[in-house]
Amino acid sequence: RGGPVIAVDGPAAAGKGTLARKLAEALHLPYLDTGLLYRAVGRLALDAGQDPASPAQEFASRLLPADLERPDLRIPVVAQAASKVAAQPEVRAALVETQRRFAQAKGAVLDGRDIGTAIFPDADVKLFITASPSTRALRRFLQLGGDRNAPDAPTRIAELEDSLRARDDADAGRASAPMLVADDAYVIETDMLEADAVLAKALQIVRERL
């Protein structure tokens, strides 16, 4: 490979995306948000009027770069659809090469669920970023533009927490490439850390390893 591969795995809304993007910038490496691949496949299945739990391999095989640029991939209904298509081994298999090829020329930082365990078991550095479900629900609420002082904020945050937990359970419980901590991964707990502190810690780990 033309550069190091850094795997950033963890549950939904733990801060992996923010960290991975900044790490890539600091290390001058390309960055790939692999969740977007599954979100795009889930979106295509929904657009076709299909239940995302039914076979979606054809959408994964014909995924185009433009499908990853769609503005509506971040919404919760697409996240749930992504998790359903991501449980299908055929969908995962169709996306493996895309992810490996992405890192071929220059190395890369990739974030997802199975980067350190399945896509790049030989990654140079593996990080697993996590936080409690309540912290993650609050972060996602704010990220979606929610107002903490709104009367319905507690209800909406609780709903987000339920859906994050359901997605975690599905992602960790599936048979094909479940979300799990690789034996050689560094776990960073981010409940008590601001994004900058997470980055500092990750950079320290990466620099010791590279």
Kindly state whether residue 82 participates in binding ligand C5P, applying the rule CB under 6 A: yes
Pick from 96, 105, 30, 28: nearest CA to 63: 96
Query: How wide is the angle at C-alpha 173 spanned by C-alphas 21 and 44, nearest 5°?
Result: 60
Residues 6+ positions from 38 with CB-CB distance below 8 Å: 82, 83, 85, 86, 91, 95
Residue 14 labelled as part of a binding site = yes
- Closer residue to ligand C5P in complex, CB, 86/149: 86
* Side-chain-side CA neighbours of residue 135 (13 Å): 13
Task: Give min distance, CB of 54 to ligand C5P, in A.
Answer: 16
Out of 5, 86, 129, 202, point to the residue binding ligand C5P (CB under 6 A): 86
Residue 116 labelled as part of a binding site = no
| Dihedral in degrees, nearest 10, Cα atoms 17, 20, 23, 25 | -70
Residue 201 labelled as part of a binding site = no
| Binding segment toward ligand C5P, per CB under 6 A, in 50-58, 107-115, 137-145, 200-208 | 107-115
Annotated binding site for ATP: 10-18
Residues that bind ligand C5P (CB under 6 A): 12, 34-35, 38-39, 79, 82-83, 86, 112-115, 167, 171
